[in-house]
Amino acid sequence: MAFNHRDRHDPIMSEINVTPMVDVMLVLLIIFMVTAPMLTQGVNVDLPQTTAQPLPQKTTPTVITLTRKGNIYINGVKAKRAMLRQKMRRLARLGGNPQILLKADRRVAYGKVVTIMADIRRAGIKKLGMVTEAGYNKAKK
CATH of the domain at 59: 3.30.420.270
Kindly provide the residue ranges of all beta strands, DSSP E only, lying in the chain, ordered along the sequence: 49-50, 62-66, 72-74, 77-79, 99-104, 127-130, 133-134
**pLDDT < 70 positions in the chain:** 1-10, 37-58, 134-141
pLDDT at 139: 46
How far is residue 87's CA from residue 64's CA, in Å, rounded to a whole number?
Answer: 11
Contact 101, 61 (CB under 8 A): yes
Answer yes or no: is 17 within a domain.
no
Contact 46, 84 (CB under 8 A): no
Answer yes or no: is 13 within a domain.
no
Answer yes or no: is 61 within a domain.
yes
Answer yes or no: is 57 within a domain.
yes
Answer yes or no: is 3 within a domain.
no
pLDDT at 140: 47
122: containing domain: 49-140
For the entire predicted model, the pTM comes to 0.56
Answer yes or no: is 59 within a domain.
yes
Which of these, 55, 48, 44, 41, lies nearest to 140 by C-alpha position?
A: 48
Answer yes or no: is 44 within a domain.
no
Structural domain total, the chain: 1
Answer yes or no: is 109 within a domain.
yes
How far is residue 65's CA from residue 131's CA, in Å, rounded to a whole number?
Answer: 9
pLDDT at 82: 92
pLDDT at 1: 47
Contact 70, 112 (CB under 8 A): yes
